[in-house]
Structure 1
Amino acid sequence: MNSKRVVITGLGALSALGNDVKSNWQSAKEGKSGAGKISYFDPEKFKTRFASELRDFDPTLRLDRNDIKRSDLFTQYALYVAAEAMEDSGLDVSKLNSPFDAGVIWGTSQGGMNTLEKEMSEFIANDRSPRFNPFFHPKFLVNMASGVISMKFGLMGINYTAVTACASSNSAIMDAFNYIKWGKAKVIITGGSDAPITEASMGGFNALKALSTRNDDPGTASRPFDVDRDGFVMGEGAAALILEEYEHAKKRGAKIYGEVVGAAMTADAYHLTATHPEGAGAYQCMKFALEEAGLAMQDVDYLNAHATSTPTGDLSEIKAIARLLDGDYDNMHISATKSMTGHLLGAAGAIEAIFCVKTINEGIVPPTINTENLDPAIPEGIQIVTKTAIEKKVKVALSNTFGFGGHNASVIFKEFA
């Protein structure tokens, strides 16, 4: 089978750093934190009372009343960024040879958690009387974002949702890349969304001792690779990428942000929530992606680390990276943008993919903020960009995401030439 080239022709983003790609990227370059005290509910009884919430989000700017009424927040976020990406791409669906040439592959970790939590709370409060909203199931189902995006834009090709916890959107991007590469689609909207700042989510992750409890200073709570890191900061939002077969994009005169050249998924087969301590699955995942791209780790100029600011997870990823670099640390720079956005769970890979693409486009590597004292277990010479962004020519960027259940997903982006 002759492989097709897969390029990126549209972007959309939504996080605590901003409500579009431009503001997200500007805030990331400036090293801003999106963390603050939770406003969606009273968090005083919780061990963690802060998160990275969206600011001034107005769904009516891109969604109509029925979109909002019938959709959980995670789907609203998905529609919002998909609309930005479609507008950015300049794609006219009516001019496709067939609506079956275009599809949606989306990622989410929790799906409609807000809807599920609200409906079940009301069910219990009403003496367990079954007075459920008729949109209860359509709103909380994890596949609904991909379905609704396809309906919104008339895309009748491949359509499904990847659910691999915090690796979900990288899994979705990989699948979209493969379907286009194999000639089974011309255009795919891909990415991910999650809206996990709810009482159940916060309480559950607190019970796992996964969240930072730095309540006195939320803005500095996410500190990947720092010796004093104590857990991740919950974030929310979404990001979308339009992946397109190169000849199709060229024919319609689309602007091209970059190219997807390799991707892989592996499993740790180790623990429900912890990564393999030596990064065995992460190592092989990156290795497979590099092999597909025809690259060595030393060819990667920038790596956006999964690094959530957990004591064990950050180190296992660094061990895998160091093993691949084999002591040759001179070229690669690493940063963890979750230090600014918080951890968007199933949307993490998508927003970080956009940061990789923008890094390639502008030659600016965003920083890892709040990291004051690197963990002494990190090999000397590993180049982690801390505090402020740096200027650097970036031709190849690699993005990692890892999820509960031992899911690993890596995607490689390259300067288009």
Structure 2
Amino acid sequence: MNPIVITGIGMINGVGISAESAFEALIEGVCGIDYITHFDASGDAVQIASEVKGFDPSSIMDPKDIKKSDRFIHLGMHALKEALADAALEPQSGDAARMGVSAATGIGGLPMMQENIEKNAFGKKISPFFIPGSITNMLAGYASIYYGLKGPNLSSTTACTAGLHAINQAAKTIMAGGADVMVALGAEACICETGIRGFSAMKALSTHNDDPKTASRPFDKERDGFVMGEGAAALVLETLEHAQKRGAKIYARVAGFGESADAGHITAPATDGPVRAMQAALQMAGNPRVDYINAHGTSTPLGDANETKAFKAVFETVPPISSIKGSIGHCLGATGIIEAAVSIMALERNIMPPTINLRTPDDACDLDYVANTAREKELQTVMSTNYGFGGTNGAIIFTKAL
């Protein structure tokens, strides 16, 4: 089978508005979590989030389209533009019918939904762009329209595993012969009253409002919930043959991926599902030695302990692990592709980003989490893992492109 490789990366999140700036900030242990500015949260139980700052959507989209679409689409299009430029890929000059997009979001246009539902409740006119501007597949729609991607147009909405699943779907499409190039794209922007208050009502969010920078504490004993983040990332996938023919830079090879379901609780994780997803990814990759794992690591009491247990069940010797959610919060449906992008950059540069805010050891989380300081290490193979509500799980493995 013709190997599938990564040739372009784009990223935007709470610590950077480009792949390079975001990755460097993560390596430095910068935290993008602060008090919410998207709305007045001063009277809320949760007042903190990781917002994208310094982002101007008019730099990548027509002003009329900006008004017609939700923020998650704006963020996604920003990441997409960067990834295509990084890959030196111009769909219009190639066989556009052989180039497609696989997009992801967990919730989609929640701020736009909230705004129009409020208008309806008070008898005001609903925007005619409410539906096409907020539904989940419109990220893929805008991507194809702006860049002439006429191949498969797919969307994944699988909670916090969606971004990883979008990469898997892109790889599967190429493997099945449906395209030569696929852009995997994920975005989320749910920092609004409904988003924050909804997750707060189910006691999923941290209430460490007194110190936002340390509120997200993956694997730490004092963790009390995740912090909402927003952001996007994009990866360009293509066959090795296609990449070599056009002289593209190759970041990594997609070595294997796995998916599973817990078939259990709607929100509480199980161990068996993550274990099977990781085992499937390892088997597909030929059971390589994994040098580093970018964990889901949400900073929730149950989730982090369960993930630690799953790693121990899969690996005889668990490799170093880290979670970047201490820095950028939890970007929901975009988190899987953001973390995959970070994993690929870590692989390329032989450095593991730290798990910041890990100060108090927890007996239930007793692995090497690359605490607080980035660590250089020769990396040949990395894994990224994600899990979502409904018991949906995923794992993906990247290797250096030799």
**What range describes the TM-score normalised by the shorter chain of this pair?**
over 0.9
1:333 partner amino acid:
P
Matched residue SS, 1:167: helix
Moved >4 Å (runs of 4+):
none
Could you tell me which of 93, 99, 112 is aligned with 1:102?
Answer: 99
Tell me if the contact between 1:162 and 1:172 (Cα under 8 Å) persists in the aligned partners: yes
> In structure 1, what is the equivalent of residue 251 of structure 2?
257
| 1:220-239: CA deviation from partner (whole Å, max 9, x where unpaired) | 01111111100001000100
Aligned to 2:60: 62
Contact 1:104-1:159 at 8 Å conserved across structures = yes
The 5 Å alignment of 1:18-417 reads: 18-96=16-94, 98-125=95-122, 128-129=123-124, 131-276=125-270, 279-296=271-288, 299-326=289-316, 328-329=317-318, 332-379=319-366, 382-417=367-402
The answer (yes or no) to whether the contact 2:260–2:392 under 8 Å persists in 1 is: yes
Q: Percent identity?
A: 42
Distance 1:69 1:377 in 2: 47
Distance 1:366 1:202 in 2: 27
The answer to whether the Cα contact below 8 Å between 1:108 and 1:192 also exists between their aligned partners in 2 is yes
The answer to whether the 8 Å contact 1:4/1:182 transfers is no
Shift of 1:94: 3.0
Contact 1:86–1:242 (Cα < 8 Å) also in 2: yes
Give 1:284 shift: 0.5
Q: Secondary structure at the match of 2:82?
A: helix
Shift of 1:360: 0.8
CA-CA distance at 1:374 after TM superposition:
2.2
Counterpart AA for 2:387: F
Farther off after superposition, 243-252 or 63-72:
63-72
Mapped partners of 2:14, 2:150: distance in 1: 32
Shift of 1:373: 1.6
CA shift for structure 1 position 182:
2.4
2:99 touches 2:182 (CA, 8 Å); kept in 1? yes
2-side partners of 1:237 and 1:410: how far apart?
Answer: 20
Residue type of the alignment partner of 2:90: D
CA shift at 1:178, angstroms?
Answer: 1.2
Task: Say whether the 8 Å CA contact 2:304–2:365 is kept in structure 1.
Answer: no
The count of corresponding residues between Structure 1 and Structure 2 is 402
Q: CA deviation at 1:64?
A: 2.2
Task: Give me the whole-angstrom Cα distance separating, in 1, the residues matched to 2:268 and 2:64.
Answer: 40
TM-score by length of 1: 0.95
What are the Cα deviations for residues 322-354 of structure 1, in whole angstroms up to 9, with x where unaligned?
11113x24xx11000111111000000111111
SS in 2 for 1:116: helix
* Aligned partner of residue 369 in structure 2, secondary structure: coil
SS of equivalent residue, structure 1 residue 104: strand
Contact 2:14 2:229 in 1 (8 A): yes
Alpha-carbon deviation of 1:67? Answer: 2.8
Consecutive unaligned residues in structure 2, runs of 5 or more: none
The structural deviation recorded for 1:365 is 0.4
Cα deviation, residue 93, structure 1: 1.5
